Amino acid sequence: MIVGHLLGVAHESTRGHATLVLAMVTGKKQAGLAVEPARLARARPIAAVFMLLLLLAIGVRQGVALSSRPAYGVPVGPLDRIFAKECGSCHFAYPPSLAPRIRWMALMDGLSDHFGEDASLEPDVASAIRAYLANNSAEKWDTRPARELALANPRDPLRLTATPYWTRMHLRIPDAVYKSRAVRAKGACDACHGDAATGRFDPQAIRIPERAFQ
């Protein structure tokens, strides 16, 4: 782009606008100098159509290739195996991007009373999960839930479904939906969010099961 502009300036200068560069500084151009009139070019429709098709082909190809890539910072890789097994046996295995590091560490410190249940782990399993969470917590990702869920509810600081953002986003969902057999719990993200396991939570991927309203 820059090279094209410079070449254009050089070309115009040789065609008679000797003062073009100076005009960029002073803002004044010499008027009335004989500039050879541009020759009329013949329309070349076949070449034009060919060029258009070529651009279209390249554009579509690039567009498809780029849109199939994950967006920057979006966690799409599979969850750590140990984490998914240990944390996913009682509840949906929340992707680590859904809470900041400090909250994960507080959760891991309190496993013997984990939201009213003993969820203790063997020390080696616990330390493997701690390391995974520390390396993949909300700070590491550029997704909306990662940013917004970082703000905790001071009255229930560890609970994801108590955060102001979660509450605001689910204001219009009646409680009966969470109690339904199709959803079962507030924390069962994957019941409605098709991309919950990635932590992305795209609005386009929401589908509340119809049975939840019956």
Interface with another protein (CB under 8 A): 88-92, 112, 116-120, 122, 183-185, 187-188, 191
Inter-helix orientation angle 101-109/123-136, to 10°: 170
- At closest approach, how far in Å is the CB of 185 from another protein? 3
- At closest approach, how far in Å is the CB of 59 from another protein? 46
- At closest approach, how far in Å is the CB of 104 from another protein? 17
Q: Are 55 and 37 a contacting pair, CB within 8 Å?
A: no
Instruction: Pick the closer one to another protein by CB: 61 or 184.
Output: 184
Q: Are 82 and 125 a contacting pair, CB within 8 Å?
A: yes
Instruction: Pick the closer one to another protein by CB: 187 or 194.
Output: 187
Instruction: Pick the closer one to another protein by CB: 116 or 154.
Output: 116
Task: Determine phi and psi for 19, rounding to 5 degrees.
Answer: -95, 15
DSSP one-letter string for 37-52? PPPPPPP-HHHHHHHH
Instruction: Pick the closer one to another protein by CB: 91 or 140.
Output: 91
